[in-house]
């Protein structure tokens, strides 16, 4: 019998009816003899309702008080789910973040988990209780309530699974697994029976928003087997694990990820001298703007062009910062473009398979799609293209790498 941590998000617990469904599912696992810890989010809409109340009072409330306020949302769900389990004759007890105790740093609204006290939970599990934990929250060493930021419930689940040395951490969502690409774009998109943490990270960061990145990183670091499942439909979902060397053959490419949410900024005619990248990106970082792709070309005439992408919503702010930088470092000019998209092929298998890049570029060339920027990592190749070609690019790559076909070694899964 296994110890399983299960996480249900806001939509899955969005009404009493949905909470009853979750209780039914959990009761089933319990009846099979598994030990269960359930992590829940606030009922969908509740967090937004609370935030709206806060904003009626103050535009920028103190972060400490925001955490006190919104952490109540998950607590409500834990109590209701525990009741629904008790009703089914399943012993259950709810815990909020400070009761567990999930110790975090004191960075309110975006705290990081430091330590989890598992003694109390183990005692309850040993007595046959299902433990229902409020996701997304913790407590700092001074006893202040903290929250982990939106979507932090995934992180709570993984952290609990790591602390309890659970056999599996199951994330219930509104999709039945991780796909080779977005099924809305490619008809032949196929659910993966498994994927590695690294691949999942690359897929997730590209907008396949099935899981929170932090949760996947955490799971990878502590080697917690993570499974993505549908909260209502039955099915095996997708298991995210460390790379399994024993496998006969690793498929070259796991999937095609893409992201329309980026914009491109170029600062042209930058004097080619040491420290210039820092002088450009330092102020951007200080302004709390996250940068994704960064490309610097080789210099011509002692100047170079420096290009990077940011989230579209931050383009205006980034441009403002960059214009100031440009005049300080005597760059020629700043240009921007928000009609771009990023497309990536992701797969740990590409490490040992030459020619993935050339196959990718060939497929795009065949469709007449111009590549504006290229960036590569060990398990990913990303290109920036004009946004209007996005669907075409994804479909042609999906087909070029034959992702619609089940690989041989997946049949066992």
Query: Given the rule CB under 8 A, which residues bind a copy of itself?
Result: 16, 19-20, 50, 53-54, 56-58, 61-62, 64-66, 68-69, 71-72, 75-76, 78-80, 82-84, 86-87, 93-94, 96, 98-99, 120, 143-145
Instruction: Choose between 120 and 312: whose C-beta lies nearer to a copy of itself.
Output: 120
Instruction: Choose between 61 and 207: whose C-beta lies nearer to a copy of itself.
Output: 61
Instruction: Choose between 139 and 350: whose C-beta lies nearer to a copy of itself.
Output: 139
Instruction: Choose between 104 and 307: whose C-beta lies nearer to a copy of itself.
Output: 104
Instruction: Choose between 76 and 185: whose C-beta lies nearer to a copy of itself.
Output: 76
Instruction: Choose between 80 and 256: whose C-beta lies nearer to a copy of itself.
Output: 80
Facing residues of 373 across strands? 384
> Do 228 and 157 meet the contact criterion of CB atoms below 8 Å apart?
no
Q: How far apart are CA 18 and CA 22, in angstroms?
A: 6
User: SS3 breakdown of the chain: % helix, strand, coil, rounded to 5?
Assistant: 40, 25, 35
Gyration radius of the chain over CA positions: 23
Smallest separation (angstroms) from a copy of itself to the CB of 23: 9
Q: Which residues contact 235 (CB under 8 A, 6 or more apart)?
A: 176, 177, 229
Instruction: Choose between 83 and 107: whose C-beta lies nearer to a copy of itself.
Output: 83
Return the SS3 of 76: helix
What are the two backbone dihedrals, phi and then psi, of residue 384, each rounded to the nearest 5 degrees? Answer: -100, 125
Smallest separation (angstroms) from a copy of itself to the CB of 57: 4
Q: How far apart are CA 85 and CA 148, in angstroms?
A: 27
Candidates 248, 36, 228; CA nearest to 128 is 36
Smallest separation (angstroms) from a copy of itself to the CB of 9: 18
Smallest separation (angstroms) from a copy of itself to the CB of 120: 8
- On the CB side of 383, CA atoms within 13 Å amount to 22
Smallest separation (angstroms) from a copy of itself to the CB of 347: 45
Smallest separation (angstroms) from a copy of itself to the CB of 89: 12
Tell me whether the omega of the peptide bond preceding residue 28 falls within 30 degrees of 0, making it cis: no
Instruction: Choose between 58 and 313: whose C-beta lies nearer to a copy of itself.
Output: 58
Q: Which residues contact 186 (CB under 8 A, 6 or more apart)?
A: 180, 256, 394, 395, 398, 404
Smallest separation (angstroms) from a copy of itself to the CB of 61: 4
Q: How far apart are CA 310 and CA 294, in angstroms?
A: 10
Task: Give the residue carrying structure tokens 């001298």.
Answer: 273
Smallest separation (angstroms) from a copy of itself to the CB of 297: 49
């Amino acid at each position: 019998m296994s110890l399983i941590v299960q996480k249900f998000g806001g939509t899955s617990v969005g009404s009493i009816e949905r909470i009853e469904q979750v209780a039914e599912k959990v009761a089933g696992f319990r009846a099979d003899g598994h030990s269960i810890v359930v992590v829940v989010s606030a009922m969908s809409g509740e967090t937004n309702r609370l935030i709206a109340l806060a904003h009626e009072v103050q535009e920028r409330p103190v972060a400490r008080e925001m955490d006190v306020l919104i952490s109540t949302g998950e607590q409500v769900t834990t109590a209701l789910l525990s009741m629904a389990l008790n009703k089914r004759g399943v012993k259950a007890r709810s815990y909020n973040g400070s009761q567990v105790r999930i110790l975090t740093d004191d960075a309110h609204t975006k705290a990081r988990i430091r330590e989890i006290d598992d003694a109390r939970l183990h005692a309850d599990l040993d007595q046959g209780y299902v433990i229902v934990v409020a996701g997304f929250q913790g407590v700092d060493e001074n006893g202040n309530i903290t929250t982990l930021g939106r979507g932090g419930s995934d992180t709570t689940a993984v952290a609990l699974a790591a602390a309890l040395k659970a056999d599996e951490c199951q994330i219930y969502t509104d999709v039945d697994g991780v796909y080779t690409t977005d099924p809305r774009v490619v008809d032949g998109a196929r659910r993966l029976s498994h994927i590695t943490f690294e691949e999942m990270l690359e897929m997730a960061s590209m907008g396949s928003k099935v899981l929170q990145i932090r949760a996947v990183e955490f799971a990878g670091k502590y080697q917690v087997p993570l499974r993505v499942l549908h909260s209502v439909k039955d099915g095996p979902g997708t298991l995210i694990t460390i790379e399994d060397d024993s496998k006969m053959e690793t498929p070259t490419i796991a999937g095609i990820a893409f992201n329309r949410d980026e914009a491109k900024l170029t600062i042209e005619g930058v004097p080619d001298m040491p420290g210039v990248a820092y002088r450009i990106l330092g102020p951007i970082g200080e302004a709390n703007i996250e940068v994704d792709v960064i490309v610097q070309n080789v210099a011509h005439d002692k100047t170079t062009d420096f290009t990077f992408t940011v989230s579209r919503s931050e383009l205006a702010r980034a441009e403002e910062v960059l214009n100031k930088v440009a005049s300080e470092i005597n760059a020629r000019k700043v240009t921007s473009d928000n009609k771009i998209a990023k497309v990536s092929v992701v797969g740990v298998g590409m490490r040992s398979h030459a020619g993935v890049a050339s196959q990718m570029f060939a497929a795009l060339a065949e469709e007449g799609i111009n590549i504006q920027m290229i960036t590569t990592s060990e398990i990913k190749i990303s290109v920036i293209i004009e946004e209007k070609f996005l669907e075409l690019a994804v479909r042609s790559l999906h087909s070029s790498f034959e992702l619609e076909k089940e690989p041989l070694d997946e049949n066992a899964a």
